[in-house]
Amino acid sequence: MSKKPLILVTNDDGITAPGILALIEVMETLGDVVVVAPDSPQSGMGHAITINNTLHLDKVSKKGEKTLKYSCSGTPADCVKIAVNEVLDRKPDLCVSGINHGSNSSINVIYSGTMSAAIEAGIEGIPAIGFSNLNYNWEANFEASKKYVKRITKNALKHGIAEGVILNVNIPDLEEKDIKGIKVCRQARANWKEKFDKRKTPQGKDYYWLTGKFVNYDNGSDTDEWALKEGYVSVVPVQFDLTAHHYMQQLNTWQLND
């Protein structure tokens, strides 16, 4: 009998989020599942790790549950690190992160705790996928998402993912019948135009709320933003090697050693 794949599940919305519950449900049909996720929401944490505080890890799976579940007091990246080093007895065949409540397309991949957890797995040499649904609502419907999560995960387990590559998957907030399919894309050139809402406390001290607007500067029809707008699931292969290889030759023309 063939051995089932071992799948590590994590997220940034917290271990009780509906999105991770939907992801666990799908993964349980594909392999043996272990969950290590934050004990509270960690959205926007990026690749932060805990170095100036202690970490707490609590087993939260109920008696009789086939899936081991742990909550961690740290960040999404912490969750993957502690799972690999303290929880699991072997390297997982796959790490999946999500399903995030909200988009992680384009530049959002930089800020995303969901994707940072997947990237941390990639750094550890574990094939990894981050899944996001464009609905930010806590009560979002993940039924359509589950179909595409399963399809993409089955392909990843069958074909493998190249070392150093992580898949960033975003799913439009549509009924299943309205999703046109899957597009492999590049990351759109877009950014946030930030604005700070300045207020005062009753004591007269200034404080700020960060707000902003997402602006897409990219008119290409091969981007994740285009695909999502057109009703497709977007799949973007990303990497944690941030070297601008194309610029190295020009940089070597500088008089750096004179």
Give Rg (Cα) of the chain: 20
Query: Which H/E stretch holds residue 115?
Result: helix 113-123
- CA 43/CA 11 separation, integer angstroms: 9
Give the whole-angstrom CA distance, residue 258 versus residue 125: 40
Question: Which amino acid, one-letter code, is at 76?
Answer: P
| 218 is known to lie in a ligand binding site | no
Handedness of CA 50, 56, 15, 5 (dihedral sign): positive
- Alpha-carbon distance of 178 to 232, in angstroms, equals 9
Instruction: Give dist(CA 18, CA 106) in Å, integer.
Output: 24
- 13 carries a ligand binding annotation: yes
Distance in angstroms (rounded) separating the CA atoms of residues 247 and 242: 12
Is residue 206 annotated as involved in ligand binding? no
43 labeled part of a ligand binding site: yes
* DSSP-derived secondary structure letter, 73: S
Contact 75, 50 (CB under 8 A): yes
Q: Is 146 helix (H, G, I), strand (E, B) or coil?
A: helix
CA distances from 255 to 89, 182, 246, 250 (A): 51, 47, 19, 11
Annotated binding site for a divalent metal cation: 12-13, 43, 100
Annotated binding site: 12-13, 43, 100
